[in-house]
Each structure stands twice: as structure tokens, then as C-alpha cells.
């Protein structure tokens, strides 16, 4: 360390140095610096007092997600300060990590107790922003160590909503021990009531961890005119856990529960959650060894059809057990043969508003498969054959009622994949692209024949296994790719365009097609995400998938289905993205124009425009919106502006919801302090950037 001043008196017996005039103290090990008018220091005990003191301590940068960072040191100033070995006490002063002499924020307090790389404590602290008092803290604690976990109250937050009223929140964090912690947050809506959030997580040992989250709203109800208030409250919780068990077993759990879709649509804070009407849960134990996999799972899938109570479809596996073997070569030589198999048994349950099965419908499946492969001068032929046996304990009648009739199906499946050598050619590239351009053409054909899947419309639907039907089909696809090489020899894909279609030689799929309504089979679901069969047909839509990246900062993704039966494009999805420096924009257009008996017409456009990012210094702004062209309605829009300085950042967001029953305007704000944290009602999942 170094002590310098205009005058220094040193007592060799007491080891005390008394300094006067331009006192400078510097500790080279931890980088602390203090300037003072005068003071004294014990070189043996490393205790000292400094008067009219000011100093700096190097910043401790913690790379936490969404934490604003700065390399500015912490600056402190006080009437006098004490140093006791590695501990500092500042009296009647302030601290900040902004640049001096005009800091954006300061924290005033009559007493600061600071241990570098451990913690900082302030009593009766007042937070000021540009000289304006903002918050008062009777007790303020900030961890500075490697593991910054400490129990304490969280900073309060505030916001405003057109249907919830003024929003005010607070919380408490409990660091239980090294392995467990918990957090409770409460938010009060002046027009609706209290919302509660509980987070509890733990890591019992090196191989296990879990995370539990509960969110609920005790809703007083939305008042509309003279009618009784409409209550939309409820709760949801999530449990995520994983562990490694003896014997090589791995266990995972992802359990989600939603009390109602009305609650989700009314109180969720993001657009994607508000329109997502599904809840999925699964817990399983699994073991891999050699070429085999054993899995036992409990699973629940729930789809809300509307916000009406109990208008939902729930499917459960209680449980399912699967045992499968990967491709294993059993014959070598000129005609190699690989063998694999899948098998499963499950107790299943399905619930709908007008129909439900028993508590345990048994289903057993076994499917051995053999495959061979032939290759000659780039041509590849891969035939395979699968035999399947399926048993269902219950079935469904044409009147949509449950029947105790068992169904046993034996089927055979033949698949043949054929690929030709790729066609390639290299061309000189335009100067703005690079030095060389390579065009690649990849043809492919696949034939599939399935027979024996009778009684398709008597099978209860639980998952994709129950969508397998008879089929006799040929799929042909053609993929074009363009690669560009720059002057440095780096290769990137400029364009990828795949076009494919299926020819159905059995237009009724073994009699499974019911005319005049939506029909979904595994053979149709595999080619496109949109249903297209409302009656017998010989061709699938022509599916085109085009991706273009003409520039490193610009891209287009266009997916479309052209239905030759309807003689129009049945679906269109176009997404463009552009980013240059701090500027970014994107437009997405989606249209569904299928057979009215299958899907209603839908058309939506999504736009995004912004400049900057979450951490960029100066002004940043962005806007995002979803507009329903069919309804002529703005479903969702949000605008966010932020300003970041060298030590703090401010964000304000306006959000507009017009989804289903929800018609709401929200204002949210956030204040971020570099290297410390942020507080406010604008959370990570709600931000545009």
C-alpha cells in the first residue's frame, strides 16, 4: 500500500502515521483509493481514519442475464471514513458507480458499512436520481461476494393498467441455505385485488435439482356497468425437476397446471402466453444402454377450446412404458440387414365436454422393423419393412360413444427411400456476393405402403400412434441450394428451396376418409402442419419452403402450400428480418385459406421495428404489433423506449391487449442500476429487447 500527504508524522512505537494535506491512500492488492484532507493510519493493524474523504473501489462485474454492466468503479464520499483491515465505514456520505462530478444516481446515508468482495450495508438510505429523491430504505443490503445470495426485501415496483388499476408490488427473498432458496412477491391491483407469486428451488445433491413456481390472483372481479363483477382470477403452477438415479436411470419432471384458460388470457403478461391454449406435463424415468432405451412416463396434455369453464380436452397416460431398440446390423455382406423395434404399453384416458373414456384404456403396440441399403455410384436405395400388432381395450362408436369392444389390428408397412447423386455446378459470383457461387440440386423419392389398419374411425385418439392409417403413397421432392464463397474462403448458404408433393394411390386411405369434415392422418400430418383432407383425394398440396439470405443482415423465409384441388394457395407464411448495426426490423405475414369445412379463413400480419438493444448507451426504442386482417383488429401492440447511461438505465413500455375477452392498456417502467440490479414492473419476458 501507499500513503502520501503534504506532511506525515510516523510513530515507530505505535506504528501510527498521521497525515495532513492532500492525503492519498492506495491499496495495490484490491485497488482501493482514498483521498482526504487529513487522517491517521496504523500500519500494523491496518486501521485508519480519513476526514473529508472520497475514494473509489474497483467494480465487481457479475455476468448475470439481463444485468446492466459498467466498468466504472464504485465512488464514495463522506465527512469522514474508517478502515478496519478490509472493512470500510463511511459517515454522512454517499456512494455511486456513475462518473463524477455529475452522477446520475447517488445513495445517501448517515452510515455505510462496506466489506469489499463481501457485502455493503446502509442505514436510513435515500436513493436520488439527478438530485430528485426517489426511494427511502430503512436498511439496504447489497451482496458483493462470489455467491451474492442473501435474505432480504426486494425493491418495490409500480405500474398502471386500464383494467387492473394502479399496480404496486413488493417481495422478500429467503436464502434458506446453500442448497435451497425461496422468493415471495405480492402485487396489488387497485381495481382487481392481490396477485401472489412464490418461487422455491433447490439442489439437494450434485445430481438433482428442482424449481417450483406458483402464480395466483384473488380477483375481486371486473365491473361492467350495473351487472355483477366478472371474476377472472385463478392460479397456475409449474414444477421442473431432474435427477440421476442408481442403475443408470435418469428422471425428469415438467408439470404444469392451469386452473382455467380465462385466467391465463386475462392475467398473463405476454402475448404468446395469452394465445397459447395448451398445457403440457410429463414425468419420466429413462435408461439407455447399448442400442436399447427403456422409458416409463406419466403424461398429461390439455387443450382449452374456449374460456368457458370445462370446455377443454384432456389426455392422460397413467402411465406408459416403452422399450425400443435402435438399428442393429444382424447381417453383413453384399445385402446388409439392420433390425430395430418399438414396443409400448399404456393406460390412457381422454376427457371432453361431451365424451370421456374410463380411467384406464389399455393400449399395446409392438413393431419390429428390418432394413437394408444399396448404394451404387451415388444412387441410394433404402427399403424397409415393419410389422405391427396393436391392441386397444376400448373403442368408439359412430355415434361418438364409448364401447367396450376390443380392437386388435395387425398391419404391414413397406418404405422405400430413393436418392440420386446430387447435381452441382460452380459459377463466378457477382462481386457484391463473393468470389464463387455453387448450385446444388438434390432429388429424392419415397414410397410408403401401409395395410391392415382397419377400423380407423373406431380407434380412440390419444397421440400420433392412433393416426396411422392405411396408405399407398409416393412422395417426390426437389431441393435447390446456393452456396457462396467469399474472398477469404468462407462458405455460407445463400438459398435453400425445397418443393415436395405426395401422390395417394388410395384416395380414401383404406376407407378412413369421412367426406365433408376435417380428416387428419399420420400420412398427411407429416407433410404439412395444416389439415387438407375433406374428402377422397389423390394428391397432397404442393409444399414449398424457401429460405433466402442474400446479405448477412437480411433474410427471407417463405413457406406456402398450393392446393391443386382448390386451385389456390391454401396457406402462406412469409417472415423477413433485417438488421444493420443497431437498427432492426421484421415483417411476418400468415394466411390460411383452406377448405371452409376444415379451417376457417385466417390472416395476420406481425411487424417489428427498433433501434438499439438492452445494453446500448443512449436512446433505444422499438415497437412490435400483431394485426388480424380478417377481423380488422389490432390484437397486440407494444412500444418500448429506454435510455442507458454509463451507470444506469431507464425503460418505459406501453402494451395494448385485445385478445378474446381481454381489452387492456398497460404502462410499465424499469430502472436498472449497473452491476447491482433492476427494479420495476417491466420484466425480462415482457421486453422487446
pLDDT tens for each residue of 283-294: 999 999 888 999
The stretch 235-259 carries a mean pLDDT of 96
How confident is the model at residue 270, as a pLDDT?
86
Q: Answer whether 209's CB lies under 8 Å from 203's CB.
A: yes
Segment 10-52, tens digit of pLDDT: 999 999 999 999 999 898 887 889 999 999 999 888 899 999 9
Question: What are the grid coordinates assigned to 411, written together?
Answer: 398391419
As a dihedral over the C-alpha atoms of residue 666, residue 671, residue 672, residue 678, rounded to 10 degrees, the angle is -70
Listed residue (478, 488, 491, 496) closest to 437, CA to CA: 491
The reported pLDDT for the residue numbered 205 is 93
Among candidates 451, 541, 539, 543, which has minimal Cα distance to 503? Answer: 539
Confidence band of 158 (pLDDT split at 50, 70, 90): confident
> Which of 155-159, 178-182, 247-251 bottoms out in mean pLDDT, i.e. has the lowest?
155-159
The answer to whether the CB of 156 falls within 8 A of the CB of 172 is: no
Q: How confident is the model at residue 229 (pLDDT cuts 50, 70, 90)?
A: confident
Q: What is the mean pLDDT of the chain?
A: 92
The answer to which of 234-238, 342-346, 353-357 has the lowest mean pLDDT is 353-357
% of the chain at pLDDT higher than 90 = 73
The answer to whether the CB of 241 falls within 8 A of the CB of 211 is yes
Mean pLDDT computed over 360-389:
96
Q: pLDDT per residue over 479-528, tens digit each?
A: 999 999 988 888 999 999 999 999 999 999 999 999 999 999 999 999 99
pLDDT of residue 144: 66
Set out the domains of the chain in order of their start, with CATH numbers: 2-143 (2.60.450.10), 422-600 (no CATH), 618-689 (no CATH)
Look at residue 143 and tell me whether its pLDDT is greater than 90.
no
Give the model confidence (pLDDT) of 188-226 as tens digits. Answer: 999 999 999 999 999 999 999 999 999 999 999 987 777
Burial group, residue 688, by CB count within 10 angstroms (0-12, 13-18, 19+): buried
Q: Dump pLDDT digits (tens) for 110-129.
A: 999 988 767 789 989 999 99
130-142 tens-digit pLDDT:
989 988 888 888 7
pLDDT at 558 over 60: yes
543 near 528, Cβ under 8 Å?
A: yes
pLDDT of residue 223: 76
Q: Is the pLDDT of residue 146 over 60?
A: no
- Position 147 scores a pLDDT of 60
Assess whether pLDDT exceeds 70 at residue 64.
Answer: no
pLDDT of residue 226: 78
Amino acid at each position: 500500500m501507499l500513503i502520501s500527504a503534504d506532511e506525515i508524522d510516523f510513530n515507530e512505537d505505535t506504528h501510527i502515521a498521521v497525515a495532513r494535506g492532500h492525503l492519498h491512500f492506495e491499496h495495490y492488492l484490491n485497488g482501493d483509493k482514498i483521498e482526504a484532507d487529513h487522517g491517521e493510519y496504523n500500519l500494523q493493524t491496518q486501521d485508519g481514519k480519513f476526514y473529508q474523504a472520497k475514494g473509489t473501489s474497483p467494480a465487481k462485474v457479475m455476468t448475470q442475464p439481463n444485468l446492466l454492466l459498467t466498468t466504472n468503479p464504485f465512488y464514495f464520499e463522506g465527512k469522514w471514513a474508517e478502515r478496519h483491515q478490509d472493512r470500510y465505514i463511511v459517515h454522512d456520505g454517499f456512494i455511486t458507480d456513475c462518473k463524477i462530478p455529475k452522477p446520475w444516481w447517488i445513495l445517501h446515508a448517515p452510515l455505510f458499512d462496506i466489506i469489499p468482495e463481501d457485502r455493503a450495508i446502509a442505514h436510513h438510505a435515500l436513493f436520488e436520481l439527478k438530485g430528485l429523491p426517489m426511494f427511502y430504505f430503512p436498511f439496504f443490503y447489497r451482496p458483493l461476494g462470489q455467491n451474492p445470495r442473501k435474505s432480504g426485501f426486494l425493491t418495490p415496483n409500480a405500474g398502471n393498467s386500464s383494467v387492473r388499476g394502479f399496480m404496486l408490488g413488493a417481495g422478500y427473498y429467503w436464502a434458506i441455505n446453500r442448497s435451497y432458496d425461496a422468493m415471495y412477491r405480492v402485487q396489488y391491483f387497485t381495481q382487481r385485488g392481490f396477485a401472489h407469486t412464490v418461487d422455491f428451488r433447490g439442489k439437494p445433491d450434485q445430481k438433482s435439482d428442482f424449481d417450483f413456481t406458483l402464480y395466483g390472483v384473488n380477483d375481486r372481479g371486473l365491473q361492467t356497468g350495473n351487472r355483477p363483477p366478472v371474476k377472472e382470477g385463478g392460479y397456475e403452477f409449474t414444477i421442473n425437476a431432474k435427477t440421476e438415479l442408481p442403475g443408470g436411470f435418469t428422471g425428469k419432471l415438467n408439470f404444469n397446471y392451469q386452473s382455467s384458460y380465462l385466467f391465463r388470457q386475462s392475467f398473463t403478461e405476454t402475448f404468446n402466453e395469452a394465445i397459447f391454449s395448451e398445457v403440457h406435463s410429463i414425468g419420466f424415468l429413462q435408461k439407455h444402454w447399448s442400442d436399447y432405451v427403456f422409458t416409463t412416463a406419466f403424461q398429461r396434455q390439455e387443450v382449452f377450446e374456449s374460456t368457458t369453464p370445462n370446455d377443454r380436452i384432456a389426455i392422460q397416460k397413467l402411465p406408459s412404458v416403452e422399450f425400443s431398440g435402435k438399428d442393429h446390423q444382424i447381417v453383413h455382406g453384399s445385402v446388409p440387414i439392420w433390425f430395430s423395434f418399438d414396443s409400448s404399453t399404456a393406460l390412457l384416458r381422454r376427457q371432453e365436454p361431451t365424451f370421456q373414456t374410463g380411467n384406464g384404456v389399455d393400449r399395446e403396440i409392438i413393431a419390429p422393423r428390418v432394413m437394408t441399403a444399396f448404394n451404387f455410384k451415388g444412387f441410394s436405395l433404402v427399403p424397409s419393412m415393419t410389422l405391427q400388432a396393436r391392441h386397444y381395450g376400448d373403442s368408439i362408436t359412430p355415434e361418438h360413444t364409448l364401447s367396450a369392444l376390443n380392437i386388435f389390428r395387425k398391419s404391414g408397412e413397406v418404405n422405400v427411400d430413393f436418392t440420386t447423386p446430387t447435381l452441382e455446378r460452380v459459377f463466378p459470383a457477382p462481386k457484391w456476393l463473393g468470389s464463387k457461387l455453387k448450385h446444388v440440386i438434390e432429388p429424392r423419392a419415397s414410397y410408403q405402403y401401409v395395410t391392415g389398419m382397419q377400423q380407423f374411425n373406431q380407434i380412440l385418439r390419444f397421440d400420433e400412434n392412433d393416426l396411422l392409417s392405411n396408405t399407398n403413397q409416393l412422395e417426390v421432392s426437389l431441393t435447390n441450394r446456393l452456396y457462396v464463397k467469399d474472398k477469404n474462403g468462407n462458405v455460407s448458404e445463400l438459398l435453400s428451396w425445397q418443393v415436395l408433393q405426395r401422390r395417394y394411390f388410395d384416395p380414401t386411405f383404406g376407407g378412413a376418409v369421412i367426406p365433408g369434415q376435417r380428416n387428419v392422418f399420420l400420412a398427411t400430418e407429416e407433410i404439412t402442419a395444416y389439415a387438407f383432407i375433406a374428402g377422397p383425394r389423390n394428391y397432397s398440396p404442393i409444399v414449398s419452403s424457401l429460405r433466402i439470405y442474400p446479405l448477412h443482415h437480411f433474410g427471407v423465409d417463405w413457406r406456402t402450400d398450393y392446393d391443386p384441388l382448390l386451385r389456390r394457395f391454401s396457406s402462406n407464411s412469409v417472415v423477413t428480418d433485417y438488421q444493420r448495426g443497431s437498427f432492426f426490423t421484421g415483417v411476418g405475414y400468415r394466411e390460411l385459406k383452406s377448405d371452409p369445412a376444415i379451417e376457417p379463413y385466417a390472416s395476420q400480419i406481425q411487424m417489428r421495428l427498433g433501434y438499439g438493444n438492452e445494453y446500448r448507451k443512449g436512446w433505444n426504442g422499438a415497437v412490435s404489433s400483431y394485426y388480424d386482417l380478417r377481423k380488422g383488429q389490432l390484437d397486440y401492440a407494444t412500444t418500448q423506449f429506454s435510455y442507458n447511461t454509463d451507470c444506469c438505465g431507464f425503460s418505459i413500455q406501453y402494451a395494448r391487449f385485445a385478445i378474446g375477452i381481454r381489452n387492456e392498456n398497460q404502462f410499465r417502467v424499469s430502472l436498472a442500476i449497473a452491476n447491482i440490479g433492476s427494479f420495476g414492473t417491466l420484466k425480462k419476458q415482457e421486453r422487446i429487447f
